[in-house]
Amino acid sequence: MGYIDAWLARHQGFDLGPRELLLARLSLRQRVRRLQLKITLPATIILAALYVVFLCMPPASSETNLPALGVYFALAMVLTIATWFTAHCHRTGERHIARDLTARIARSEAVRLRTMLGPWTSTAVAVSYGGGLVVGGVAAVMASSQPDRITAVVFLIGLVVLGGMTALALKHVLHRPALAVDPGSLLADDLLRTEDARGLAAPLLPMLLAGSVMLAGQHRSGTSTLLDGFVIVCSIFVAVAALKEPNQPRVVVPR
């Protein structure tokens, strides 16, 4: 089952506006997803292989495996550039769709990020980024050795960069023009926006970052114990948010 069929099956029974508009939007998203996969998959495989190779090599002078960290950041950079590029393609495609709309409707209330994400996802985001900053800060201050401090600082810098990029991307999702011609298509727009926002805000990157710096540290210490705890707490919040807030229409409109 393709992306479009799966999406339509998930939201069966709801009035989501004109079928042509919905299909145009979904097929654009499908193309964008495929494009993103084409860019990121080869880069991810190559960089992940390099990362594993560097992790297997013993570090030369310090206990922190800097080449492995470097590869990790290259991977993060490739993923980020791919995300921005595909987001640009998505924006251009949506502008083309908007040009063909003869009527437009809009919400008369401002969309709030917290409302769109839902309380559980918002909490998971706050815990992963806010909690990550606290954990990284404590680890950097309390570090007993230089490699431990480097690991904590690398984690903190990575978290700030990731947080900034995520905030920018979320801002774009929140403020992008609604493509709607009736209440049904406005509901579909809400759903797509919510999916995008939750996808972006999902605190998987901070967890991946914590895991990577732990691996690059290559030895058990107070820092890695703190990061272990951070990953476990984040995982619990992510799981609860996914269970409590599935992406379903909030308003049931019979066909």
Partner 1 sequence: MIRIDSTSAVPPYEQVRSQLAAQIADRVLAVGTRLPTVRQLAADLGLAVNTVARAYRELEEARMVETRGRAGTFVSAAGERSRIRAEQAARQYASTAVGLGLTASEALEIVRAALANAAGSPT
Residues that bind partner 1 (CB under 8 A): 98, 101-112, 175-178, 180, 183, 186
Measured from the CB of residue 16, what is the shortest distance to partner 1 in angstroms?
Answer: 15
**Burial state string for 178-193 with b = 16 or more CB within 10 A and e = fewer than 16:** bbbeeebbbbbbbbbb
Cβ proximity to partner 1, 128 vs 185, nearer residue: 185
Residue 160, both tokens = 């700030």
- Hey, what are 50's tokens? 């390099």
Our CB check for partner 1 shows the closer of 156 and 186 to be 186
Distance CA 1, CA 249 (A): 21
CB 63 within 8 A of CB 148: no
Contact 238, 204 (CB under 8 A): yes
Shortest distance (Å) from residue 167 CB to partner 1: 17
Q: Which is nearer to partner 1, 149 or 172 (CB)?
A: 172
Please report how close the Cβ of residue 108 comes to partner 1 at its closest, in angstroms.
Answer: 5
Residue 17 backbone class (left: φ over 0; alpha: ψ -120 to 50; beta: rest): left
Shortest gap between Cβ of 4 and partner 1 (angstroms)? 24
State which residue, 94 or 148, has the beta carbon closest to partner 1. Answer: 94
CA-CA distance, 204 to 212, in Å (whole number)?
A: 12
DSSP letter string, 158-171: HHHHHHHHHHHHHH
**59 or 93: whose CB is closer to partner 1?**
93
CB of 188 to partner 1, least distance (A): 14
Shortest Å distance, C-beta 56 to partner 1 = 51
User: Closer CB to partner 1, residue 115 or residue 146?
Assistant: 115
Choose among 128, 116, 118: nearest CA to 237. 128
What is the DSSP code string of 82-96? HHHHHHHHHHHHHHH
